[in-house]
Amino acid sequence: MAYKNADILRHIAREEPLAGTLKAFPGLTRERLGRLLEKIADNALNAKGAIDSSEVNSVLNRVRVYSDGAARGNPGPAGAGAVLVEPSGQIVDRLGKYLGVHTNNYAEYMGLLLGLKRARELGVREVEVFADSELMIRQLGGRYQVKSASLRPLYQQALKLLNDFSRVKLVHLPREMNSAADEMSNRAIDERM
């Protein structure tokens, strides 16, 4: 028996617990996820009844990537953190990664890479990067040279990822305005995430 994709999506939206998805995206509510699935079912079907992937990906067109890194001892135990936020302020994802023994600047770049990779996985087209590392933001913006041999590959990887997006904005912000990403980088160290 053939089923229409719209019917399958509506069933998932109304009947499935969606616990795994809610766990993977802290801050996302069951109701909001259900509405998103209903919207996709109602609006993102082409004439043949199949999902148009370009419309599905446009559901999350732009995010803010808050990134941070921490190193206790510099160099010392290090962690990277990133938080992805919709323009409305809704948190899309919180990420953390334990890095072993590294410098703070290395951890800062790793936090950015973590956030950019996740944004790309989500099909995001436009990113606004917010970080409290003036060095990293100015290097990526072309105002500072990358003199450190250990940072150069991370810088190049970050530029390559940034080029995947149709629009990029880089913003240096004060440390106190980056507390969510800072929390994730420190949790990564504490919990060996």
User: Concatenated DSSP letters for 104-154?
Assistant: HHHHHHHHHHHHHHHHHHTT--EEEEEES-HHHHHHHTTSS----TTTHHH
| Structure-model confidence comparison of residues 144 and 7, the more confident one | 144
Asked if pLDDT for residue 107 goes beyond 60, the answer is yes
- The predicted-structure confidence for 115-125, as pLDDT tens digits, reads as follows 999 999 999 99
Task: Provide mean pLDDT across the span 89-105.
Answer: 95
pLDDT above 90: residue 77? yes
- Report percent pLDDT > 70 for the chain: 83
Question: What pTM, to 2 d.p., does this model score?
Answer: 0.71
Q: Where are the domains of the chain?
A: 5-58, 62-191
pLDDT-derived band at 46, boundaries 50, 70, 90: very low
When pLDDT is cut at 50, 70 and 90, the band that residue 79 belongs to is very high
Confidence grade of residue 48 (pLDDT, cut at 50, 70, 90)? very low
Proportion of the chain above pLDDT 90, given as a percent: 65
Residue 182 has pLDDT above 80, yes or no: yes
Distance of alpha carbon 78 from alpha carbon 80, whole angstroms: 7
Where is pLDDT greater, at 193 or 112? 112
Assigned CATH topology for domain 62-191: Nucleotidyltransferase; domain 5 (3.30.420)
Give the Cβ contact number of residue 104 at 10 Å. 19
Distance of CA 123 to the CA centre of its chain: 10
pLDDT of residue 41: 67
